[in-house]
Amino acid sequence: MTVSAPLAELRGITKRFGTLTANDAIDLAVQPGEVLALLGENGAGKSTLTRILYGLSQADEGVILVNGEVVRVNGPAAAMAAGIGMVTQEFSLIDTMTVTENLMLAGSGLGRVSRPAARARVLEAAERIGVPIQPDAVVGGLSVGECQRVEIVKALFHDCRLLILDEPTAVLTPQDVEVLFATVRRLTADGMGVIFISHKLHEVVEIADRVSILRRGRIVADVPAAGLVPARIAELMVGGSTTAVPTAPLGLTPAEPTTAPAGVPDARPSAPASAAPAALGITALSLAGRGRPLLDAVTLTVAEGEIVGVAGVSGNGQTELVSVLCGMTEPSSGSVHVGGTDITALDVTARIRAGLGRLTEDRRGSVVLNLSVEQNLVLEDLDRFRVGPFTSRRRVRAHVAALIERFDIRASAGDPIRSLSGGNMQKVLLARAIARDPRALVASQPTRGLDVGACAYVYEQLRALRAGGAGVLVVSEDLDELLGLCDRIVVMVSGRIVGDVPAARTTRAELGLLMTGSAVEAA
């Protein structure tokens, strides 16, 4: 690649939000045919920088150059005209329309052309990225990976030369990740530049040519990816070596050596559960949906002192399972027990009192944003601080101070909860859930959007719960997280459990086959 001629270049990019400098005089260049990994903890400035490059935000200082020429990127249309495309986790496709119709609706450089001509361009683009795309397929029937490929094709229709991929593997199966990486390699071989943003450091090592790391709005490292290991990248991201920083993929080391079995694990839920008493028992749990069940006779036991993971492609019943378990949705049939207590008919508050802890994926929806850290910490537990008809302020303050210290919450008790970072807000929710010593904890996407340091802290707390004898159910779309954290992993497809395997004796690829239903069909 020709280092002297960057495909795109940022010079002196600075962006302020009040007194906060999100990007501080950033210089960054992407070469033709290069995959540049842009990394950093949450709040480091990655999103702000890519929003500026794609025209969604304007820099206070600095310039953008494309092929050596200064360009004004004052909106996505200007970015696309300059050859800059972006694919995020949230796809902008209409489910009821075909692939071709979606691309025509988006004004994807087709102009006034006939539908057959537009269809032909879809096929040409599919050939370029090396994957089959059916131009007449209705988007609503496509998988997440297929929708992502359509978004990439959309960028190609704008003659994209620089493609920004923001957390592109977050909800993909391992097989879809392989297809994506093959696509990226084909595009860069054709001279395209790619900015790759991810928290999955082992993927960065696999796909990137160069790594640029942001910390507190500044570039602190810009190094070739060759020879880098995830542990070193994590150190650069957080600013020095620390035992709190994950070293394995996503910071997890399995409790036992992982020895992959020959072939795909049995697709039937037949792996033996722990002999310990059940902390959480789910029996024949069903939830009716429109035309098909959202949950289909789900049966699962989480033993005391066990962490069980729930894997699956997004939209296969995981969200509904958490909602039913936590009392936010009433099941059509089946039962839920915590210890020996049937909690099926109990409301949210009664379930908490019965020993069920909850950590839902919607952090902001789990707190009252207008209240303080202190108020949110005791929101579900005020009864324990009552002295007669009154609430003891002294007891509340002592309890909250102890939680802030124990869970390393970087805030004062009186700070508004809305002012906290995602990591600190998750610490508040963890503290609130764990303070009651739950017999069972349901944790949904517990580290989504968190940086490596915050992830390590969450893992530490979940493992401590297990060590204390609680049962933990972790729902996550991150297979590396589940493989490193859990004792067993179950896989959900179309609202059913289709596999139950020991985490120490399975692999990402095998779980991926279960997630796509391939192993079920072959069984």
For range 366-372, the mean pLDDT: 89
Parent domain of 162 = 8-238
Structure confidence at residue 257 (pLDDT): 33
Whether the per-residue pLDDT at 250 is higher than 90: the answer is no
Burial class (CB in 10 A: 0-12, 13-18, 19+), 381: middle
Number of separate domains in the chain: 3
- Same-domain status, 350 and 375: no
For range 367-383, the mean pLDDT: 87
Structure confidence at residue 246 (pLDDT): 36
Structure confidence at residue 517 (pLDDT): 67
Residue 119: inside a domain: yes
**Helix, strand, coil distribution of the chain in percent, nearest 5:** 35, 25, 40
Out of 391, 412, 435, pick the residue that ends a domain: 435
Residue 2: inside a domain: no
Query: Average pLDDT, whole number, for the chain?
Result: 85
Residues 6 or more apart in contact with residue 353 via CB below 8 angstroms: none
- Same-domain status, 424 and 498: no
Cβ–Cβ < 8 Å for 66, 103:
no
Q: How far apart (Å, rounded) are the C-alpha atoms in residues 401 and 452? A: 26
Q: How far apart (Å, rounded) are the C-alpha atoms in residues 121 and 8? A: 26
Whether the per-residue pLDDT at 260 is higher than 70: the answer is no
**Nearest partner of 477 among 169, 165, 176, judged by Cα:** 169
- Same-domain status, 483 and 415: no
445-470: per-residue pLDDT in tens? 888 777 777 788 889 999 999 999 99
- Same-domain status, 412 and 442: no
Out of 414, 435, 456, pick the residue that ends a domain: 435
331-367: per-residue pLDDT in tens? 999 999 999 899 999 999 899 999 999 998 888 888 8
- Same-domain status, 399 and 451: no
Q: How far apart (Å, rounded) are the C-alpha atoms in residues 418 and 448? A: 18
For range 144-162, the mean pLDDT: 88
Out of 389, 418, 435, pick the residue that ends a domain: 435
75 vs 421, residue with greater confidence = 75
Q: How far apart (Å, rounded) are the C-alpha atoms in residues 111 and 74? A: 22
- Same-domain status, 388 and 336: no
**Nearest partner of 380 among 422, 338, 346, 431, judged by Cα:** 431
Residue 255: inside a domain: no
Residue 291: inside a domain: yes
75-108: per-residue pLDDT in tens? 999 999 999 999 987 788 898 999 998 888 766 4
For range 162-178, the mean pLDDT: 87
Q: How far apart (Å, rounded) are the C-alpha atoms in residues 139 and 143? A: 9
Structure confidence at residue 336 (pLDDT): 96
342 vs 233, residue with greater confidence = 342
Residue 260: inside a domain: no
Residue 136: inside a domain: yes
482-506: per-residue pLDDT in tens? 999 999 999 998 899 999 999 999 9
Q: What percent of the chain has pLDDT over 90?
A: 49
Residue position matching structure tokens 């998750």: 426
Query: Rounded to the nearest 10 degrees, what angle do helices 422-434 and 452-467 cross at?
Result: 10
- Same-domain status, 16 and 72: yes
Structure confidence at residue 274 (pLDDT): 53
Model confidence at 372, pLDDT cuts 50, 70, 90, reads very high
Whether the per-residue pLDDT at 244 is higher than 70: the answer is no
- Same-domain status, 129 and 173: yes
Model confidence at 321, pLDDT cuts 50, 70, 90, reads very high
Cβ–Cβ < 8 Å for 368, 420:
no
Rg for the chain, CA atoms, rounded: 24
Instruction: For residue 492, give the CATH number of its domain.
Output: 3.40.50.300
- Same-domain status, 428 and 444: no
According to DSSP, the β-strands at 293-303 and 278-288 are antiparallel
Q: How far apart (Å, rounded) are the C-alpha atoms in residues 170 and 90? A: 11
- Same-domain status, 163 and 229: yes
Q: Per the structure block, which two tokens stand in for 329?
A: 């949705």
Q: What percent of the chain has pLDDT over 70?
A: 89
- Same-domain status, 187 and 149: yes
Q: How far apart (Å, rounded) are the C-alpha atoms in residues 30 and 28? A: 7
Q: How far apart (Å, rounded) are the C-alpha atoms in residues 361 and 326? A: 12
Q: How far apart (Å, rounded) are the C-alpha atoms in residues 412 and 135? A: 55
- Same-domain status, 139 and 287: no
Sheet holding 333-338, edge to edge: 293-303, 278-288, 333-338, 341-342
Cβ–Cβ < 8 Å for 404, 373:
yes
Whether the per-residue pLDDT at 5 is higher than 80: the answer is no
Structure confidence at residue 447 (pLDDT): 86
Q: Is 297 helix (H, G, I), strand (E, B) or coil?
A: strand
Residue 295: inside a domain: yes
Residue 442: inside a domain: yes
